[in-house]
Structure formats: C-alpha cells, structure tokens
Amino acid sequence: MPAPFTSLQAIFFDLDGTLIDSLADLAEAVNRMLDDRGYPRRDPGLFNEFVGDGVLKLVQRALPDEVRDEAAIKACADEYLAHYQDLWHDRTQPYAGIIETLAALRAQGLKLGVISNKPHRFTVLCCEYFFGPDIFDGVLGQRPAVPRKPDPAGAFELAGQLGVPVSRCAYVGDSGVDMKFGVNSGMRRIGVRWGFRSEQELRDNGAEAMVSQAQDIVRLVADE
C-alpha cells in the first residue's frame, strides 16, 4: 500500500515541461544545428514529442532519417548543445504559479528536488536562474555515468542524499517517461496537464493523480 500524499517527506520534479516551458529554446537550438548542416528545419510543434529522453534522442528524432547513424548523432548533439548554450533562457519561463507553489511546499516542511534528463550543467543553470540557489535541496541532471529516466538510479541517489525513503517521495512530471520513473523507483506519481505530453500518456504510464495548475500540488499533499 503506497504512502498517502499527505505523508510525503519530499517532492521531486521533472524540469522541462513541468517547472519550465523551454520548448521554444530547445527547438531553436536544434534548428540552428540543422541549419548549420544544411538539413531542413523541424516544425516547432513537433518538439513536444521529440524531448524527454535526453539529448541524443532529441537530436536523433530531429535529424533526417538517412543521417541517423551513431557518429552523426553524437556530433550533432555537441553542435546542438553549443547553440543551446546561447539560447537556454531566451524564451524559457517558469510555468504560472510554479514559484509560489515551490515556496508553499517548502513552508509545509517538504524537501524539494529536481531530476531531469537534461544535461546536468543546464539543469543546474536553469534551476538556479529561474528559481534561485536555495529553493531545491538537490538537483540532478543527466550525467554520463548515470542511466537516464525511467531508470530509477537518480531517484535512489537523490533520496539517499536527502535522507528520505523513496516511498515517502513523489515525482511530478509531464511525460510517460516521468511516470515510469516514478513506478520503477517506488515514488508516488503526479502528472501535470500543462506540459509537453497528453494526459492519456501520463495515465497509461502510471500517474496516480493529475493536476491542472501548480497550486493543485499544494492542495493534494495537504488535503488528501
């Protein structure tokens, strides 16, 4: 029997599509890489399906089919990251109510963290730039030696750092990968309706609760 939401000790969040709306900057960085290579640009409306599984998968999905070999994907990923370095906060913004929600959750005594498939360097940059250096108790982005979500390694690592059992943690995310991550690690799962993927995808992959606005998370953990 899972612990009720009211007994949580920590809430961990996905970043892109959950805390920040970063799709325009991600898409533009990929498209500038495609421009450099003489490949056709991708419609920005496609990127909500391209993101979520790390940089290599993002680039692979954006490249023309005939150039998706391993060496090309790796080289293009490096070029994409160079462009993203110039763009990462151009149009990206926190979603409505997120900053206030994080403050309210901290006021309830919950530990807060971020676990993302975004490269660790950019995950830390975004968290500190948009939310300040003190709101999160731990931030983990994708690192070469750690399997990406939905592998549960990041959840066990961060829970261990914060001294809380994973069964008393919840994961908030906007994709099926996020919900599978919660299932695989034994965390509670909260899906957001404002992100990059559909509610059906979230429910199909293990979402236990769905929220329509950020403040709903506060009510969920206080009133269940």
Cross-strand pairs, 138: 113
Same domain, yes or no, for 43 and 17? no
Greater pLDDT, 3 or 120: 120
Q: What percent of the chain has pLDDT over 90?
A: 94
Give me the chain's average pLDDT, please.
95
Can you give the CATH number for the domain in which 139 is found?
3.40.50.1000
Same domain, yes or no, for 59 and 140? no
State the residue range of the domain holding 214.
5-21+93-223
Same domain, yes or no, for 61 and 136? no
Amino acid at residue number 45? G
Distance separating alpha carbons of residues 62 and 39, to the nearest angstrom: 10
Q: Is the pLDDT of residue 113 over 70?
A: yes
Residue 3: pLDDT band (50, 70, 90) is low
- Interval 132-151: pLDDT, tens: 999 999 999 999 999 999 99
Same domain, yes or no, for 103 and 198? yes
Q: Is the pLDDT of residue 224 over 70?
A: no
Same domain, yes or no, for 129 and 199? yes
- pLDDT attached to residue 192: 98
- pLDDT attached to residue 2: 61
Residue 222: pLDDT band (50, 70, 90) is confident
Inter-CA distances, 137 with 21, 158, 177, Å: 22, 9, 23
Domain total of the chain: 2
pTM for this prediction: 0.95
Q: What is the mean pLDDT of residues 149-170?
A: 97
Q: How many CB atoms lie within 10 A of CB 200?
A: 10
Same domain, yes or no, for 103 and 196? yes
Write the DSSP symbol of residue 192: E
- Which tokens go with 123? 């995950």
Out of 40, 64, 87, a domain closes at: 87
Can you give the CATH number for the domain in which 32 is found?
1.10.150
Same domain, yes or no, for 11 and 43? no
- Cβ atoms of 92 and 156 within 8 Å: the answer is no
Out of 87, 122, 141, a domain closes at: 87
